[in-house]
A and B are shown apart, each in its own frame.
Chain A
């Protein structure tokens, strides 16, 4: 079996989780790390026992000749690096957000398709254990038809971490210079889940964003950290998206409601609950559903314990599954793990949100604020 040669471009924090997950996958080898700052490329190579490191993308592509390049640089550079890699004949795994806007996204996808190469985006939460289980249930028809309504809650605890301090303190922080600011770097995971199940290509989007009272108290009036979005896709399917830095618990939950049944999972606690559409008669509805929920929660507990004991419950297991599926699409010709329709839709929805809330601390709901994407 031929080893898949992998390279990592951008050797910051997120590159560590790529390197550690890639090294858990048989049949591939990291052949080089690359960063404009040579010391950073070197430290990643040293820690993960990679033989070569580079401070130029050209040198990596020419000398390392990787089959796949993982792009883990800040989003502003994704398009240009992705373009160079595709032109050099490499498949690309691009960290989220995929690109700055839908235009760049379209261009990269078109380039890959023309060159017969594969690409994917790092919305790896779509491949966690519970997300995969939900996908299987939906494929088996558990919802009873197309989703009627979707809810995605994606919270981000600002806390007092280094990232937040840097973000608040440095006006030139790379995340602040993105068109959507903090939101641009954080909402992709929650939005990509909606894009997976929302039919069509061009949903209607109504967005409302504002600076939380918490940030205002800290003297911050530019970073929008609270966002509510209403979407409507083809066939009338609707979705709510909630992003909050302040609500507690700080949830990462996803709910799908079909014409017959519903499904709900929690990303942090890794449980998935089936929500049955039928009701029991009379007082039975007040008592029996609870026993069903209790049974399902216990089921999740034992499933998680079993996976943990089987050494398959790593914090980044979604990333490993996504990378594996992507590599299979390259080596075995399997479908790409994230269809390009979803990558496009996520970018378009994000563009629409940032257009509506951009440059303002809040945005009024109304027909003039909504639009098809």
Chain B
């Protein structure tokens, strides 16, 4: 997986670290794409008591394979459970000072499902953590999806100071709704219960094992691939880089209450990515839609959706356009400065590895 251990990188010294190698660390969503890499990163760094929560529906075989390949079976405890169960949460959070909370409601179009699996689960876990009174940090994994990308002080730049969607229900994206509400809940617990937390917002996480073209590049809903991204940068972060950023955000002292965006350096443009994908993975026809036209398309769709009382759901609307296809630059300055993270896998190498895995299927 190519993780560079953090002692080698020297980014967090023992003095700066908020937990010891013997402390128990909980990783939820551990059998997911990113979760598995976070567990590997923790193992590579030498942590000895990692508790992994996985759903019975997760890729358990993949997680176990990665653990075994690092000889970590005696350092990792894999628990099959459900965060909707308060009993499971209580068991999981027992004697755990550091929680990486990656489990979330993904892949659903239903707002209630996204809410249930992102917010209710997080509330149960937070309550359990507070009950045991040993939590030193709750690392909440959020997403770039929460940013509105409208009315920003610095027009093109998206960083941690940018506003979050104030009406996520109108984004017609259940995942965004769930994540905004999850972040609100964590911040609320931080304020009301003095619960120490950090929020990490990865961009578009890519890497071997996940063949996809981000929605930021375009859509294929109408039988032909419409390329909306053009010269826009894609906020990619290689899964190894992202996992390490998350782990460091959990370990570094003195960053309570902070929000960190995670994107790699040397980001490719949407046009370049699409060209490379077609060349390296599979060829298909696409049509570039200039930004003015994609904006007009979203505007008209939104108006029709309103006029027809939702006969067409507002999946393409101006809010969605701003969040996804507006020309934007991304910053990773804050996480580099405060946590000492540096993307170990350069984008060119990461994309090469990724395309290779896509080809192999």
- Interface residue ranges, A against B (CB under 8 Å): 11-13, 15-16, 20, 24, 37, 39-40, 43-44, 46-47, 162, 165-166, 168-171, 308, 311, 313-314
Contact = CB atoms under 8 A, between A and B. Distances in A.
Interface of B: 55-57, 82, 107-108, 110-113, 115-116, 119-120, 123, 169, 181, 307-311
A47 B111 contact: yes
A165 B108 CA distance: 12
A166 B117 CA distance: 12
Nearest to A171: B56
A131 to B, nearest CB: 19
Nearest to B117: A162
Given A162-B107, A170-B56, A170-B57, A13 B309 contact: no
B131 to A, nearest CB: 18
A37 B86 CA distance: 12
Given A168-B57, A169-B57, A39 B120 contact: yes
A368 to B, nearest CB: 38
B112 A313 contact: no
B310 A20 contact: yes
Nearest to B309: A24
B311 A314 contact: yes
A11 B110 CA distance: 12
B169 A47 contact: yes
Contacts, number: 54
A314 B115 CA distance: 25
A39 B116 CA distance: 8
A12 B309 contact: no
Given A24-B309, A162-B108, 18 more contacts: A11-B112, A12-B113, A12-B116, A13-B112, A20-B310, A39-B119, A39-B120, A39-B123, A40-B112, A40-B115, A40-B116, A40-B120, A162-B113, A165-B57, A169-B57, A170-B56, A170-B57, A170-B82
Which of A37, A46, A168 has the most B CB atoms < 10 Å from its CB? A37
B110 A13 contact: yes
Contacts of A43: 111-112, 115, 119, 181
B306 to A, nearest CB: 11
A84 B222 CA distance: 48
A168 B99 CA distance: 28
Contacts of B107: 162
Which of A16, A24, A313 has the most B CB atoms < 10 Å from its CB? A16
Contact of A311 (B123, B169, B309): B309
Contacts of A24: 309
A13 B169 contact: no
B55 to A, nearest CB: 7
Contacts of B119: 39, 43
9 contacts: A12-B112, A13-B110, A43-B111, A43-B119, A162-B108, A168-B57, A169-B56, A170-B57, A308-B311
Contacts of A13: 110, 112-113
A210 B359 CA distance: 37
B22 to A, nearest CB: 33
Nearest to B108: A162
Nearest to A167: B57
B309 to A, nearest CB: 6
Which of A308, A313, A314 has the most B CB atoms < 10 Å from its CB? A314
Contacts of B309: 24, 311, 314
B310 A314 contact: yes
